[in-house]
Structure 1
């Protein structure tokens, strides 16, 4: 299954429809405290050797989390679903506002320049949506168009970016901002099961915002709003694939025993994603004249050590190719929909891209889904 602007049979959105959209700025933010895996185990008094092994063999050194306070007996207080939703709202607004501010500063733009705001989240449900809350909180113009993408999971950043690119192409010169705000510690259930151990060992809190603009402003031919910084890539095309046989392999559903929503990851997910990675990338590059070896920069979702290894092996990539993916996992854990943007920010700061370089963005999540984008500097 694909999401297309061009011919449905191609499985790739038409580059002509999105080719003028260019990344103009990036900003990130985290919340809570930085915890090592050992500190999380200690905080919840986890002694089970199998559970401890999951945490300590995750290739994660630290994560930013907002954990419940200890009670009188020093045990962490269990939060109700209502309290978790309240946490999600507070963290998403706080992190989101800081990420958007950083993104606009990177672009050299102001809040008044924003014409479209897209907010992505899967760690809580809000009505009115996060976009409306941020417009009020930050003082963004009430006339700013907006959309909220809720519940799509770790792949959702690229789902939304594809739609944003189409919006940008239809509104040349008008800056659009996409925010991925994931308060993963507001989606935790703490019990003794291996199901929750896998999730609790992996995810962290973080937000990332990216600005795009098309038309003359994207090429630096106009001064209002500010042109994007030099060396930022164009969004050329997108391709996606839903692995329908693994529809339930990643899901967020109700746990009646806990009275909370709970996330589930099937142990076979790394192999499912790895086995389909080539198919999606080949479709993305089809008709471009490019081979995988022509791609200079790979920015893949930090889904977990086994997922990253499966993608690397199946696509024939090197550890250097995925250095930012593994670095983000090490320093932040899995940040869900915003992970690939944290990797993109590291690439920008590294300063190694050259005009003409091609890059691939890749995310994976519930569906099970693989989303990809082709960019060029």
Structure 2
């Protein structure tokens, strides 16, 4: 009897091949940051706002923050604060967002070795003000970026928005190899303050600062990726591997903007339980992110966590079993700038690169949290 040879099904063969084929990934090829002009110590801020309440002062002075960049409301001849209307705050946001945003984009392009003319896609992220047309359109006009540039604006998502946007920008980059995508996070927190004597506003007013951060992404073309395999893991140019997201629906109102009728402006609310809610859910999302790549926490060389506040950082560190060294940049950014909202993690990322300690093959985790309540995470590899 002649033995029968059964040829493998074509679909099965193709599926096996796809599992072993290395998918081209987007690379973060540059980063740049910027802040508003003036910075102040927490004591200087207490003096400027004439805050005497010992409980409020304690919130400021025990925040693990040394300085923050802010554009403060001016004082009148009697030394009292000049009230800023909601319209004036929106105008302040527009002015500061354009100024800080342009500087961050230029710094990012310089770090990347790119020019304004190289930008093919621009994503702008902000929560501290509303603009129509969006910040992306205004920046394109003000900076002289090509009007043919594709763009998107992510507005109102909060501190987690940087990774939500990076996920979308990464997808565009992978779909458009060889083209340059830029993501800008710009938060003029000076334009989102309510000044009163309550502990509710004290928590917010003691924490946030002004800042902008931009990153550039490029996905190598097939020929480039095959021709220079080391380029994808070059130190300072990590590949973006995957993302994970977790919405804590039971705490959806824990971080939010409310309209304050008495003040005639928006007021941000931050629930005191936020650090514990975030900490309790941190393991779940990081476990999912790493399981998808077949990794353990011990495989991660670099942790870049959002500088959300001292208690938030401590809760994440304890629940994930991280060392103080793991979150050194997170802590230092909080100390030097306060909570910069959506761009905070990119300030930490910039400091990591400045250390020049990343090596080819190292894995890193980016982790942010914000309104929703939401935790976002991304896995990268140098």
User: Is the TM-score greater than 0.5?
Assistant: yes
From 147, 153, 156, give the equivalent of 2:158: 153
From 317, 321, 326, give the equivalent of 1:321: 326
Rounded to whole Å, the distance in 2 between the matches of 1:222 and 1:188 is 52
Q: What TM-score comes out, normalization by structure 2 length?
A: 0.91
| 2:69 and 2:337 in contact (8 A); partners too | yes
From 249, 268, 275, give the equivalent of 1:270: 275
| 1:27 and 1:101 in contact (8 A); partners too | yes
Aligned twin of 1:123:
128
Rounded to whole Å, the distance in 2 between the matches of 1:132 and 1:218 is 33
1:135 aligns with 2:140: yes
Please list, as runs of the form range in 1=range in 2, the aligned pairs for 1:54-93 lying within 5 A after superposition: 54-93=59-98
CA positional deviation for 1:216 = 3.1
CA positional deviation for 1:343 = 0.2
CA deviations over 1:65-114 (Å, ceiling 9, x no partner): 00011111112211000000000000000000000000000000000000
CA positional deviation for 1:19 = 5.3
Rounded to whole Å, the distance in 1 between the matches of 2:28 and 2:371 is 26
Rounded to whole Å, the distance in 2 between the matches of 1:288 and 1:218 is 26
From 172, 178, 186, give the equivalent of 1:173: 178
Rounded to whole Å, the distance in 2 between the matches of 1:283 and 1:234 is 19
From 229, 248, 256, give the equivalent of 2:253: 248
| 1:237 and 1:284 in contact (8 A); partners too | yes
Rounded to whole Å, the distance in 2 between the matches of 1:18 and 1:179 is 26
| 3-state SS, counterpart of residue 371 of structure 1 | strand
CA positional deviation for 1:287 = 3.2
CA positional deviation for 1:257 = 1.2
| 1:218 and 1:227 in contact (8 A); partners too | no
Q: What TM-score comes out, normalization by structure 1 length?
A: 0.93
| 1:183 and 1:206 in contact (8 A); partners too | yes
Aligned length: 361
Q: List gaps (5 residues or longer) in structure 1.
A: 1-13
From 94, 111, 114, give the equivalent of 1:109: 114
Rounded to whole Å, the distance in 2 between the matches of 1:126 and 1:103 is 23
1:94 aligns with 2:99: yes
Aligned twin of 2:3:
none
CA positional deviation for 1:20 = 1.0
CA positional deviation for 1:215 = 1.9
Q: For the structure 1 residues 194 and 339, does the alpha-carbon distance in structure 2 shift closer, same or farther, using more than 3 Å as the test?
A: same
| 1:206 and 1:335 in contact (8 A); partners too | yes
Please list, as runs of the form range in 1=range in 2, the aligned pairs for 1:338-353 lying within 5 A after superposition: 338-353=343-358
| 3-state SS, counterpart of residue 115 of structure 1 | strand
Rounded to whole Å, the distance in 2 between the matches of 1:34 and 1:148 is 28
Q: For the structure 1 residues 289 and 318, does the alpha-carbon distance in structure 2 shift closer, same or farther, using more than 3 Å as the test?
A: same
| 1:162 and 1:238 in contact (8 A); partners too | yes
CA deviations over 1:292-340 (Å, ceiling 9, x no partner): 0110000000000000000000000000000000000000000000000
